[in-house]
Chains A and B, each alone.
With several copies, the nearest count.
Chain A
């Protein structure tokens, strides 16, 4: 029995106090295996020790909530006995070390979280952050991550229908790879990760266990430093074919009524799945490790308990159903073994050939880990970021050039190069494919559809984490609304730096409060989520990036709306108010190389009114297109509506009233709560009336048609054409830029 030394404790990322807590719980010194189990379960990644006190502020209830946070994924009711199960997760650190496998196994993990619930996965979305593509390393990371997501998702037959890609050098040494998955289940047939029924068999299903990713969970709770090199062997290789078989086998066992509980073996593998299932049910579990299928010889109990080999599940079957479970697994050619049983003593007891190697109260491991209310305070530099004197920034001279620069900046440019590598049509539900404000998927056997999107402007969050988080929620909801969907649920993935730093913790606390307030105001419950801390390299933190994944519901799939113009002669109407707001804009970054200022103002009342108005217009068939104004402002939104359709591209002639505002603010400012719609002229009156009834400012700003985008700015004295570009010029810059940047030598 090795002596637990201070060094060993430090290697396990446990503090002296945490270790003392372990000794108190056990009433003795832990064994090495026990120390390993505590260290992974009490890591930031698994225990949420720094975030839990704040996450409590998020609103998690609502009439549609079937399952809130606390399970493998959340679920909302979509009527007709069905529910939508969804969650988002990060795989940032593994993707930096090995982009293809890191991203691929990230997809594998979130898929398991969904089918664990008894839901068949119907869609994936991915939200990515990379450094700018001027370095070979950033290009390699991007190529690898996209290929990894494609490699796994495509093979699984789950369409990747949406997401985000944003570029900023702050992510060069810590890219973000967040993946969200949606699944569909019958509401009363949801499965949960509980080990109920004393004496029930505990069954291991899936890939054999190897020495993969041992300490993956603690790695995700640690920053990168030069020792990243040393940690490399922990990379895991994904096997999507195995996962596909596992998916089918699990769904078949669930449908046959053989199971009482099920959980994937994700971070912290067999340890987390077993102790969490027991803890939720208030039971214990006894495992015999010699029965665990293995890929490598001579694995120690420590390694078996901590392995993060992919594509594995832990099931609790109903007593007497073992044989049927085994038969289904054999049919699908997946490894399976009965490795333990449910006990009544609340203890996770691990045996190796009959000898006890670990004996820990399951609740202590899963729920009674340390909790920290870490100190937080705004950083001294915060004021420098937001103080921006606009007098020193000249107004735009050549608006044509400015628009083209924005359209070809990779954050705004078309993401076709990415989403064409993803199968986004398999399962034949994709009504709105990637390339519009939100993806829309019909629900077979009903008239309904669901929409999904991920959004976060992390520059806003840097400048003001509270406002930035509120805007992320508002923008996600607006994207759904523009697709004709009513927002019904939210999942988040909170990517931040080191929580032990008060400035980072301040960003986190502010962001969570922003999320909470926006969700409260827009009545959108948070049903699942994930926290990823320690996103920093050599002391440099990423921008605070609270990714918001949101789902919406359409009563009629055939009313799904898209962002592109449809017909010559249609009116173009701008809903919402344009203010002089350039702070944190893509325009300031691209044209003036500044990431500064105050993010745009957001009134959640105005936002709600806008949503009600737009949803009504779409439901009544009064608009032909709807597009949210975000990065790059109205000018970019107009260009996107001209260019992004699958058929013939349509131009537009637009006149914007400038008033006393700067030209660049009118064209490229990112004022919130604005939507661009196009409509047949016959509907103009009804639309303007509806807008007035909802107290939403509305202006007819132009007409669809021709093969140019022409924008003029008017004030009391003049009416100047400031943008006049052919669609082919615009298209070339916007559609081909990303591919050019990724493939540059």
Chain B
């Protein structure tokens, strides 16, 4: 199975990257861009057929390593 994981800063937490990119976009003339937020995207292959087990495993990966639960939130799809 393939897991596709998105990790974003939680709402309300300062996103300096997003802010800098937003300003750059506006300076470039993309004046109708707003609320830019930047996160991480990860893909990985999982050698596991059982969907429920795969789900549990990816959840555990996110919580232990891929996301920092203190400032980030994550979501993932399996395919």
Contact = CB atoms under 8 A, between A and B. Distances in A.
B63 to A, nearest CB: 13
A333 B24 CA distance: 12
B20 interface: yes
Contact of B14 (A97, A295, A333): A295
Contacts of B16: 237-239, 241-242
B21 to A, nearest CB: 12
Interface of B is mostly: loop
Interface string A233-249: 10111110110000000
Contacts of B70: 97-98, 232-233, 235
B72 to A, nearest CB: 10
B13 interface: yes
A207 B71 contact: no
A98 B15 CA distance: 16
A235 B14 contact: no
Interface of A is mostly: loop
Interface string A298-312: 000000000001100
A391 B23 CA distance: 49
Interface string B52-70: 0000000000000000101
A101 B71 contact: yes
Contact of B71 (A237, A239, A241, A296): A237
Given A97-B70, A98-B70, A101-B71, A236 B20 contact: no
A112 interface: no
A68 interface: no
A415 interface: no
A237 B9 contact: yes
A624 B59 CA distance: 59
Contact of B12 (A210, A242, A333): A210
Given A97-B70, A98-B68, A98-B70, A237 B27 contact: no
A421 to B, nearest CB: 15
Nearest to A101: B71
A311 to B, nearest CB: 9
Contacts of A296: 12
Nearest to A296: B12
Nearest to A309: B14
Interface in A570-585: none
A745 B27 contact: yes
A211 interface: yes
A98 B69 CA distance: 10
B65 to A, nearest CB: 10
Interface string A206-249: 01001110000000000000000000110111110110000000
Contacts of B9: 237
A101 B9 CA distance: 13
Given A98-B68, A101-B71, A239 B14 contact: yes
A592 B23 CA distance: 36
Contacts of A236: 14
Contacts of A237: 9, 13-16, 71
B71 A98 contact: yes
Query: Chain A interface: which size bin?
Result: 20 to 34
A241 B21 CA distance: 13
A309 B19 CA distance: 15
Interface in B1-55: 9-10, 12-16, 19-20, 23, 27
B29 to A, nearest CB: 11
Nearest to B71: A235
Contacts of A232: 70
A207 B14 contact: yes
B74 to A, nearest CB: 16
A233 B27 CA distance: 29
B22 to A, nearest CB: 12
A210 B11 CA distance: 11
A212 B68 contact: no
A569 to B, nearest CB: 46
Contacts of A333: 23
A296 B14 CA distance: 10
B68 A241 contact: no
A241 B20 contact: yes
A242 B23 CA distance: 13
A104 B34 CA distance: 27
Nearest to B64: A136
B23 to A, nearest CB: 8
A211 B16 CA distance: 15
A324 to B, nearest CB: 24
Nearest to B68: A98
A745 B28 CA distance: 9
Contacts of B68: 98
Given A98-B70, A98-B71, A101-B71, A211 B12 contact: yes
Contacts of B20: 241
A376 B62 CA distance: 47
A236 B71 CA distance: 9
B51 to A, nearest CB: 29
Contacts of A101: 71
Contacts of B23: 333, 745
A212 B14 contact: yes
Contacts of A98: 68, 70-71
B39 to A, nearest CB: 13
A246 B57 CA distance: 33
A333 B16 CA distance: 14
Interface in A275-315: 295-296, 309-310
Contacts of A233: 10, 70
A236 B68 CA distance: 13
Interface string A593-629: 0000000000000000000000000000000000000
A210 B10 CA distance: 13
B52 to A, nearest CB: 27
Nearest to B16: A239
A309 B20 CA distance: 17
A374 B10 CA distance: 41
A242 B16 CA distance: 8
A101 B16 CA distance: 12
Contacts of B19: 239
Nearest to A239: B16
A161 B19 CA distance: 31
Given A98-B68, A309-B14, 20 more contacts: A98-B70, A101-B71, A210-B14, A211-B12, A212-B13, A212-B14, A232-B70, A235-B13, A235-B71, A236-B14, A237-B9, A237-B15, A239-B14, A241-B16, A241-B20, A242-B16, A295-B14, A296-B12, A310-B14, A745-B23
26 contacts: A97-B70, A98-B70, A98-B71, A101-B71, A207-B14, A210-B13, A210-B14, A211-B12, A212-B13, A212-B14, A232-B70, A233-B10, A235-B71, A236-B14, A237-B9, A237-B13, A237-B71, A238-B16, A239-B14, A239-B16, A239-B19, A241-B20, A242-B16, A295-B14, A296-B12, A309-B14
Q: Which 5 residue pairs across A and B have the least CB separation, nearest first?
A: A239-B16, A745-B27, A237-B14, A232-B70, A98-B70
